[in-house]
Structure 1
C-alpha cells in the first residue's frame, strides 16, 4: 500500500525524533555532572581531577558551582529526580546528606581506588556501608599578619592578647567552621559539651573586628589589613601568602581541628557509572598530589607524593600527619548545631 504524503511526513518526523532522542541519550551518557566549590577550589578540582578524567575516558565533566550548604539544598530539592551525579561536601554536611537519604553506597568493587585511601578517609554508616570518601584534609589554625606578628603564635590564647584587640577574626556559626570551632575550643579546654557556658564566656571576652560568615570574608579581612590574627583555614591562608601578602599560618600547641572535602555518589544519579569512574579518578595518587600542591590539602591517599615546600603547608603543619588532626565526631557536632547557634546569638554576638 502506498503511503500518502501525510504518512510519509509523519514517518520522517518519528524517525527524526527517535534519532534526536538517541543522540541526546548518547550525549548524556558521555558526561557527568559534579557539584563542587567555587574559586581556587573549583579550579583545582578541574585541573587535578576533571581534565585528566576527561582525557582518559572522553566523558565531559559539567560543574555545578556552590558551597556545601548550596549543594545540600539542591540535592534535597532534586531528591525525586536528581540531575547531579557526584557531590563534593564538607565533613558534617556529608553526614546530614547521608541522614537525609540523598547518597548512594560506594562499592569498593566499583570504586577500586578506595583501597588506596587511609582508613580514616572512608566514611561508613551504621551498617558499615561506605557513603563518602575523602579527597583531602584542611584545618582551621592560627593565621596572622607576618608584618605585625614576626614570630608565629604558639597558642590559641594569642587571640586574647591585648596587643591584637580589635583586629581578631573568628568564624560565626553561619560559616561551616563556626560550630566546630566552639566544639574544638571546648575540647582543648576540657569543657564538657553538656555545659558550654565557659566557652561562650571566653568568646565574649574576645575583642574581634568581625565574626566571618565565609572563608572569602576571612581572607578579605586579612587582605585589607582589618585582621591581624584569627582562626582561618590553611587553604585560604596559604593562598593569600602565594599572592604575595604577608600572611602566615601555624598549628598551635593545642592542635587544630580539621575536616576534609569529601566525594559522594548521589542516590539515583542519572549517570551513576560515570560518577563512580569520576570518584575513582579523584582517589589516584596523582590527583591527591596535585590537590596538595594546588590547595594544600593533606592527601587522603596513602602513596601521594608531596614536595618538601608543599609539605610545610599541610593542615597538620611541617612535621605532623593525619594522626595530629583533631577530627571531630560530626554526628555529635550536628546534634549541637541548633543549640550552639542559639547560644552564640544570645551570649556572644549580642554582647
Structure 2
C-alpha cells in the first residue's frame, strides 16, 4: 500500500465531514494542554460533533464524569481530522482516546498510533459480542461504539415504485432525483466496490463499476451525512443512498422518507474507540471504556442514534429494533461489511479514478 500518498489524500480531506460525524473544530487550549499537565483526574477524548456528539456526551461522557469525578476534555472532529492529529502528535499525543470510523480505524492501526485493546481490563468483556472489536481476536485495536450502514432511502410521496436493490438506481423513474455518496464519505468507496462486484469486476477492480456509475443521472453527489440530509430535506433528492440513523431522524421530523435494506444488504461500518499509543492515562482510559461498553450506555446510543449495540444484554423496544441497520430480526452478522483494508490499499487509486471518470467526466 502506498501509505504516504494515502495519508496525503486524507490530509487534504481533513475538512470533509464523514458520515455520522460533525464539523471539525480546533481543539480548545484546555484539551491541548492535557498531556503536559498529566492530571490523573482528567482525560482527553476525540469524538464526533453534531447529533452523534450530543448523544455521546449525554449517555457516556456526562454520566462517566459524575460517577468517577474524572473530567473529560472533548476534542470534536471527524475521523480524518482525528487521524491526522494522531499522526502529527505521534511522539507526544495530547489525546487519550480517539473515536474513528471503519477505514480510518484500520489506517490508525497500520500507522501504529493506537494500542492493542487489553480485553482483560474490560469488565463487560464476557457480555460483548465478538463484533465489539476491530482487528483480530488476538490483536483488537478498537472497541465499538456501535454499528451502522449505508442503505437506500426514498420519498414515498414522490417515488411510486420503491427501490429494493442497488441495481434499481438506474431505473428511468429516478433520473434527476437521485443522490449517492462520493469516496470522501465512509460509504462512498464501499458502494463503488459493491456496484463493481454486481457488474462483474474481480476483487480489487472497479473499472466496470465506474462505467456503470457514469450512467447514473444524479441531482447531486454528497460528501458527508449532513450534505445528504440537506438534499432530502430540501426535496432536491427524493431517492438514493443514505445512512439509517439520519434517515430515521428526518422521518421523526415528519418527512415522508423510508429506509430500505437493499437485497444485497446494508453496507456496514462501525465507529470504534481507540486507546491512543503513548497515553499516560491507561487506568482512566479503561475506566471510560468500561462505561462506554456498559449496558446502559449502549442502550442510550442505540435509542438516540439507531446504532446496533455490541452488548449482548441490551433491551430495545420494537421501534428501535425495527430501525437497526439490519432490520428487526437481524444481527450485526447480517451487515454487508466491506473489506476496509482492501479499500485502504486502493484508496488513492480509486479516488483519482472517481475524480477523473465521474467528476471530470
Asked whether the two chains share a fold, i.e. TM above 0.5, the reply is yes
For residue 131 of structure 1, report the CA deviation from its aligned partner. Answer: 0.9
2:313 aligned residue = 303
**Residue 69 of structure 2: aligned partner:** 58
In the alignment, which residue of structure 1 is the partner of 2:156? 146
The reply on whether 1:115 has 2:126 as its aligned counterpart is yes
- Matched with 1:30 is 41
Deviation at 1:337, TM superposition (A): 0.8
| 2:355 maps to 1:345 | yes
Query: 1:89 aligns to what?
Result: 100
Pair 1:325–1:187, CA change in 2 (3 A): farther
The residue that corresponds to 2:9 in the other structure is: none
Task: Give the alignment partner of residue 113 of structure 2, picking from 94, 102, 107.
Answer: 102
1:285 is aligned to 295
Q: 1:102 to 1:195 in 2, by over 3 A?
A: closer
User: Residue by residue, what CA displacement relative to the aligned partner does 1:120-169 show, whole Å, maximum 9, x if unpaired?
Assistant: 221235x9222111111101000111221256422222311211211111
Runs of 4+ that moved beyond 6 A: 24-27
CA deviations 1:39-90 (Å, max 9, x no partner) are 0000010111112211221112221100000110111111111111111100
After TM superposition, give the deviation of residue 36 of structure 1 in Å: 0.7
Is 1:257 aligned to 2:267, yes or no? Answer: yes
1:190 to partner: Cα distance: 4.6
Aligned residue-pair number:
327
CA distance in 2, matches of 1:300, 1:138: 12
2:330 corresponds to 1:330: no
Matched, 1:179 2:189: yes
Q: Is the 8 A contact 1:152 1:248 kept in 2?
A: no
Contact 1:116/1:283 (<8 A) preserved:
no
SS at match of 1:28: coil
Please show how residues 118-197 of structure 1 align to structure 2 within 5 Å. Answer: 118-124=129-135, 128-149=138-159, 152-197=162-207
- Matched with 1:43 is 54
Q: Residue 7 of structure 2 aligns with which residue? A: none
Instruction: Report the RMSD for the aligned CA atoms in angstroms.
Output: 1.9
Query: Does the C-alpha gap of structure 1 residues 333 and 26 become closer, same or farther in structure 2, counting only changes over 3 Å?
Result: closer
Counterpart CA distance in 1 for 2:200 and 2:125 is: 35
Cα deviation, 1:172-205, whole Å, max 9, x if unaligned, reads 1122221121122234445313432211111000
Corresponding position of 2:235: 225
Structure 1 unaligned spans of 5+: 1-23
In structure 1, C-alpha distance between the alignment counterparts of 2:156 and 2:193, rounded to whole Å? 28
In structure 2, distance between residues paired with 1:195 and 1:101: 28
Q: Which has the larger radius of gyration?
A: 1
Q: What is the Cα deviation at residue 339 of structure 1?
A: 1.4
In the TM superposition, residue 343 of structure 1 has moved relative to its aligned partner by 1.3
